[in-house]
Structure 1
């Protein structure tokens, strides 16, 4: 793989030589002449917080650590026309949940058709290879003329900012290092590309320090992809992609005496006794008549297909789908729909197979100037990060990797007056998801989330204050327990100190009903949770703001769920450039 990077550098040199060098550096020279050397925009903020917890003798575990602090920045740097977006986030650790302190920082300078990546970054080659996983290292994207060349190298599977509170073991016992290269050509309706992604595990501990019960084995993976797209006419476009992934589950296993060509990946990979190879591919045809877009798509992912470039990859499936996107009834309705069939057990080796109807629908209807309706449904399987809701210390605020299997969303908004000063919103949603553990979907850990919400907002055009009110119903049903919460919440915000400051206050009361299914000895309970908060925001200067907040939670207790009181104080300082 390293030789490929050398080849890219050679290609880059020829590409630069073939460009109009005078025009390429013309913008830089103009910036120097105008003495516009450096520009910066964006914002940075720092926060600190304190927590005061009282279990009132109930033995309830503390929900937050006593103190916390953090820093975030999102800056757009511009040096002589070389633009460099910079992001960073730092936070202290959390001893209560064994979460380490974390730091993320990344820079992506770009000029003309050259983009470089350094630090904590992400790049996408293909949904079948590198997609959705951040890496700590370096990368580049070159687009000279009709050609596209990109590459990366760095450590994989580092938790992202939103993964910092994960309850799952996203990190492995080994340091996973990946590198990849993608080349492509794009010329007025013709697109072709090829990519090669490789990764391997390197031990982070001494052999004697490894826990033998973890059964951790170093893995190695390589994925080759080929894709193309051709626009045949204004109405017709065809596209397709093929990928082969070769995965070694244990690098320490015995080598194969006579490996097959498939596991050798055209001589690029050295397999052993634990190596498997699998293919994935899709073909799509798209029609674009005047009234919208129509598409027909076929996808097949063989069993055991896996890639280190994704947090989780769904395999052993075959999809045949068709879809339409079209505005209807003088653009009052926007409709996007996909329907089809899906089957698994492609190699007839599973104990049970499944053939099912799959589909998704999203419809938006602008009934009038005041009324807007939206409905969506999907039973396509997708992998997402879900945030668990903390209800009276039963669940920890955390991020989990889960496979969403079905979702329904309905929303209606209505302006109660012609000026839009009073707005009523009603929404409901349902979602079924299964937890992913050790790269396997755990069907025994299904969760069914239901939510109903009715909210009202009032904001007079000349008034300094605004009022909101919400009635919320939420239910989380799992194999172990069912939690249902219902209650109102009201909030009021008022501008103070001219237009430089604002004060907000909110209060809510929820009743939490809990039913334990796996512990018959625990009786069902219903407990009240009182929440209130106060926040103050002040714009010190045009570029500086400070925010202070205080919140209080008083949770009633029972035999199954001990009560507690919790006070949190926080301050945040922000600076915009």
Structure 2
């Protein structure tokens, strides 16, 4: 289990940065408390609410080796304390599976709130923007201040990643340096016009890992991101939103210091340019005009190759998007239409060997035919063009079949879906509902302008019927699904029915559920596998605060052509308890 203690060198840039940030937060929160002390005694007295959930999972298998641990438990909960307007929510999660995670699974944190002040303590996550800090978990402290409708301040500092030593004996071991980070965002303005400034700084501690990870290409990193966002109403019904960010990142914070011809030289107190430093930008903008029944807009995004931030887990880069958007509502809001079309491309710096561009379009229509019938239609088309040849090869070819050893093909993907819902009856005795859905997907390729013998098709049809017997509190559902996928030399078919029922007992305090499904999988008209799945569950609510649940699942799988296990069974049982309380 991860400890809440974090060691930081007093000489490190992160310590100096964190100290300044925490001192600023202390002055801000002290001022806030002083301004609101007079309200103590005027609000509600102490109230406590929250809940605790305990879940135990048991597993057994017959015919194969166990595919999961035979026993696991999960404990989670939340607690909210309120005293004269102060709100202090606390949450935690704990499990015996924490040992299998290199980064913490067991987490503890709280976010107390008083009027326009919210603090984040422990394991929390915050978001400044898409390109700076975006939902990254940290162990530390944060604050959100909204003193007025036109001012909002956000700030945080803490540990983004714990140190993990290199262990070659452990499968899947991913060593990592301890990473500290912090930042702030200030938003000024109201709903019609606003501007925000943000920065985020993160650094790895090169001394936090004792093993020689440089041999596997792992080095301590350093990152500083600056962001600017604007939102404004140009004229009535015409709005504009835009954001731009610059990220400076050193892939080896121990490399040689240099003087870079870049604006970040002016921020050497927060980021020291080094031989391993790179500088990237990202931006997006959207403009939209809203008519009475419909709206048109243009959206643009450009993210330079290599752009990333240590404040986000994953980031798409080397892309440029431009799209036209449209939404409208007709026939007294019963018909709604949404459409989008545009172009996406990569290799913005022309440094890669291949370039890809993609046309994309989508259309969504929802129509309420009558109070008992609703329908929806969705369609999208994506066309990807990949070019992997020099201009000389392209211009000098005599036929489309010249230079086929280079790459020049177009991939087309189409998706379509239809859906309809029918309310067959709704009386005091019974209610019936029928739902039908169909989906189709196709992909194809062209090379040198000629269709290739590749691609695939996918069909899916599913339908469900449910009937509710109101007096007896019984709901029965019957459904079926068919999936067909076709490729060049193969055809896969999966189909099967399922039956489920739910019954409420004892003034709806107790419930019983059951479900039985059977699915068959075929490949080229030969049986591949059949799966019989049985689920039984029971629940009981005691005095509205205590909830008990028991769910048992039994699976029987038959694979006649398997060379190892042709038939095996698995059993999973889950016993859960949930307690909700409130002092009110």
Task: Note whether the superposition's TM-score is higher than 0.5.
Answer: yes
1:495 aligns with 2:504: yes
**8 Å contact 2:295–2:326 — kept in the other structure?**
yes
Q: In 2 relative to 1, CA 284–498 (structure 1 residues): closer, same or farther, beyond 3 Å?
A: closer
The aligned counterpart of 1:2 is 18
1:411 aligns with 2:419: yes
**8 Å contact 2:59–2:70 — kept in the other structure?**
yes
Q: Normalising to structure 2: TM-score of the pair?
A: 0.78
**8 Å contact 2:161–2:177 — kept in the other structure?**
no
The aligned counterpart of 2:337 is 335
Q: CA deviation at 1:182?
A: 0.8
Q: Provide the secondary structure at the position in 2 that maps to 1:39.
A: strand
Cα distance per residue 1:114-153 (max 9 Å; x no partner): 0111122221111111113222222110111222111112
Q: In 2 relative to 1, CA 211–274 (structure 1 residues): closer, same or farther, beyond 3 Å?
A: closer
The aligned counterpart of 2:577 is 573
**8 Å contact 2:176–2:209 — kept in the other structure?**
no
**8 Å contact 1:245–1:278 — kept in the other structure?**
yes
Q: CA deviation at 1:39?
A: 3.2
Cα distance per residue 1:151-186 (max 9 Å; x no partner): 11223268xxxxxxxxx9797522332211111212
Using the alignment, how far apart are the partners of 1:134 and 1:432 within structure 2? Answer: 39
1:12 aligns with 2:28: yes
User: Which residues in structure 2 correspond to 1:310-349 (within 5 Å)?
Assistant: 310-349=312-351
Using the alignment, how far apart are the partners of 2:274 and 2:132 within structure 1? Answer: 21
The aligned counterpart of 1:387 is none
- Find the partner of 1:357 among 353, 356, 359: 359
The aligned counterpart of 1:223 is 225
**8 Å contact 1:370–1:416 — kept in the other structure?**
yes
Cα distance per residue 1:325-347 (max 9 Å; x no partner): 22122101222322222222111
Using the alignment, how far apart are the partners of 2:474 and 2:207 within structure 1? Answer: 56
- Find the partner of 1:510 among 505, 519, 539: 519
Q: Provide the secondary structure at the position in 1 that maps to 2:572.
A: strand
Q: CA deviation at 1:571?
A: 0.9
Q: Provide the secondary structure at the position in 2 that maps to 1:314.
A: coil
- Find the partner of 2:115 among 112, 116, 134: 112
Q: CA deviation at 1:245?
A: 0.8
Query: Which stretches in structure 2 are left out of the alignment for 5+ residues?
Result: 1-16, 163-170, 384-412, 444-454
Using the alignment, how far apart are the partners of 2:208 and 2:285 within structure 1? Answer: 44
Q: In 2 relative to 1, CA 13–202 (structure 1 residues): closer, same or farther, beyond 3 Å?
A: closer
Using the alignment, how far apart are the partners of 1:288 and 1:368 within structure 2? Answer: 28
The aligned counterpart of 1:63 is 67
The aligned counterpart of 2:293 is 291
Query: Which stretches in structure 1 are left out of the alignment for 5+ residues?
Result: 159-167, 382-404, 434-445, 516-522
**8 Å contact 1:376–1:409 — kept in the other structure?**
yes
Q: Provide the secondary structure at the position in 1 that maps to 2:301.
A: strand
Q: Normalising to structure 1: TM-score of the pair?
A: 0.79
1:421 aligns with 2:437: no
Using the alignment, how far apart are the partners of 1:205 and 1:230 within structure 2? Answer: 46
Q: CA deviation at 1:203?
A: 5.2
Using the alignment, how far apart are the partners of 1:134 and 1:261 within structure 2? Answer: 31
Q: In 2 relative to 1, CA 373–566 (structure 1 residues): closer, same or farther, beyond 3 Å?
A: same
Aligned residues: 510
Using the alignment, how far apart are the partners of 2:442 and 2:153 within structure 1? Answer: 40
- Find the partner of 1:72 among 72, 76, 83: 76
The aligned counterpart of 1:457 is 466
**8 Å contact 2:48–2:79 — kept in the other structure?**
no
Q: In 2 relative to 1, CA 189–77 (structure 1 residues): closer, same or farther, beyond 3 Å?
A: same
**8 Å contact 1:157–1:170 — kept in the other structure?**
no
The aligned counterpart of 1:466 is 475
The aligned counterpart of 2:535 is 533
The aligned counterpart of 2:42 is 30
Q: CA deviation at 1:411?
A: 3.5
Using the alignment, how far apart are the partners of 2:173 and 2:423 within structure 1? Answer: 45
Cα distance per residue 1:219-253 (max 9 Å; x no partner): 22211001111223322222221110111122233
Q: Provide the secondary structure at the position in 1 that maps to 2:421.
A: strand
Using the alignment, how far apart are the partners of 2:441 and 2:309 within structure 1? Answer: 27
The aligned counterpart of 1:242 is 244
1:90 aligns with 2:94: yes
Q: In 2 relative to 1, CA 69–218 (structure 1 residues): closer, same or farther, beyond 3 Å?
A: same
Q: CA deviation at 1:263?
A: 5.3
Q: Provide the secondary structure at the position in 2 that maps to 1:2.
A: helix
Task: Determine which structure has more spread, i.e. the larger CA radius of gyration.
Answer: 2
Q: In 2 relative to 1, CA 410–176 (structure 1 residues): closer, same or farther, beyond 3 Å?
A: farther
**8 Å contact 1:15–1:144 — kept in the other structure?**
no
The aligned counterpart of 1:198 is 201
Q: CA deviation at 1:283?
A: 2.5
Q: Which moved more, 1:97-106 or 1:358-367?
A: 97-106
